[in-house]
């Protein structure tokens, strides 16, 4: 059986205020083409199909369209939910979708009930483990009152799956949306909103004995074991992901289990580039012309903050999304504490210093200096009278 492992589609997500629907549609078009060209029989999507528990009509339409086209290309589809999805909403029409070859596995109380598909070697059992929140699972699973962590939840889930699969001849594939130990170095900015506080990690050994574990939640591809992998997301969702390829794992199963795994690249509709230099350098250097169509994160090394930098950058780089200042020369007093910086300075000096900073080296003008003097004097008099 030939399987294509994907995850984290995040349909409906924005990138610095811009919709990603058109870009994702382009990538999913390529995904359908790969399925057809490579004879893929099953497409897996391991959670976070939508970016929101209340997806827009446009997001739902895109999902419906790509699922229909994947079926037309000859593949059945197995989905599970992630921490961004609403399991109930994503799985609302699961009973009907199953008859069309779309298998939506979002219910934690049914995770030990597999979708069984057959090839020339026999049955392959697909188990879907949605994102599990231990607090909710303590009430969903009557005998799991002591559950405290996601590791506890995955251990419990996998025990149920192993007990069921032991009585089913054939091979076993598990989809799971979770954070597995060893993926720490692969997490990036776009995942930090989901992994804040150091979510407990699930050991790779949790998936021992499974022919293939298709993981979701981490947005970069990763091999934790030959049979335990993250596919990553189909789009880049942060500049920290810029160097990470986009695609999915092509997984082949034979009569004995895992026969081979191959990476399949998918297109990047708009590359992400980080440019560093002075504002004038970024605007004038001919070499940067190659990045005019990219998403740009600009890091300016000017020693004084240039005026209107973002607007000027966007004239040359229309898709400049972020701007950061990192002066090449650090001010001598930059390491001082605030208390050290203000010690011994008068209110007048502090105000003038502030104006000099925000005005790129220009302090108070004559009229302004006179007004500041009057205001400071009035404030001082009021303090004395009080």
User: What pLDDT sits at residue 163?
Assistant: 95
Cα-based distances in Å from 266 to 25, 163, 269: 12, 37, 9
Residues in the chain: 386
pTM, entire model = 0.80
**Is the distance from CB of 305 to CB of 360 less than 8 angstroms?**
yes
pLDDT, one tens digit per residue, over 106-139 is 988 889 999 999 999 999 999 999 988 877 777 7
Residue 316 three-state SS: helix
pLDDT, one tens digit per residue, over 304-328 is 888 899 999 999 999 999 999 988 7
Q: What is the CATH number of domain 2-265?
A: 3.60.21.10
Residue 383 three-state SS: helix
Query: How confident is residue 30, by pLDDT bands cut at 50, 70 and 90?
Result: very high
Q: Tokens 């976070």 appear where?
A: 48
């Amino acid at each position: 059986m030939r399987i294509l492992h994907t995850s984290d589609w995040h349909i409906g997500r924005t990138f610095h205020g811009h919709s990603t629907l058109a870009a994702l549609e382009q990538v999913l078009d390529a995904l359908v083409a790969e399925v057809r060209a490579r004879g893929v029989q099953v497409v897996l999507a391991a959670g976070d199909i939508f970016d929101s528990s209340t997806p827009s009509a446009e997001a739902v339409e895109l999902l419906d369209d790509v699922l229909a086209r994947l079926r037309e290309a000859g593949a059945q589809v197995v989905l599970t939910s992630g921490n961004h999805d609403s399991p109930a909403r994503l799985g609302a029409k699961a009973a009907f979708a199953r008859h069309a070859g779309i298998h939506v596995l979002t219910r934690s109380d049914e995770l030990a009930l597999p979708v069984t598909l057959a090839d020339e070697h026999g049955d392959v059992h697909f188990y879907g483990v949605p994102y599990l929140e231990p607090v909710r699972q303590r009430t969903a699973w009557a005998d799991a009152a002591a559950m405290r962590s996601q590791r506890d939840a995955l251990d419990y889930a996998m025990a149920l799956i192993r007990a069921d699969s032991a009585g089913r001849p054939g091979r076993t594939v598990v989809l799971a949306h979770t954070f597995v130990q060893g993926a720490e170095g692969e997490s990036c900015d776009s995942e930090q909103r989901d992994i804040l506080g150091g979510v407990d990690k699930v050991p790779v050994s949790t998936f021992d004995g499974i022919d293939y574990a298709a993981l979701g939640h981490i947005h970069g591809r990763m091999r934790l074991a030959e049979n335990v992998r993250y596919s990553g997301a189909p789009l880049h969702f942060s500049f920290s992901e810029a160097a990470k390829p986009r695609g999915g794992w092509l997984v082949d199963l034979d009569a004995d289990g895992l026969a081979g795994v191959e990476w399949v690249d998918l297109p990047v509709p708009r590359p992400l580039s980080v440019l560093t230099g002075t504002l004038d350098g970024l605007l004038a250097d001919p070499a940067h012309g190659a990045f005019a169509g990219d998403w740009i994160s600009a890091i300016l090394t000017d020693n004084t903050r240039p005026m209107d930098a973002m607007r000027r950058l966007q004239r040359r780089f229309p898709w400049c999304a972020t701007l950061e200042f990192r002066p090449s020369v650090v001010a001598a007093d930059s390491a001082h504490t605030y208390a050290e910086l203000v010690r011994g300075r008068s209110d007048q000096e502090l105000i003038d210093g502030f104006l000099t900073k925000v005005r790129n080296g220009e302090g108070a003008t004559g009229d302004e200096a006179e007004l500041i003097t009057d205001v400071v004097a009035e404030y001082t008099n009021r303090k004395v009278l009080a």
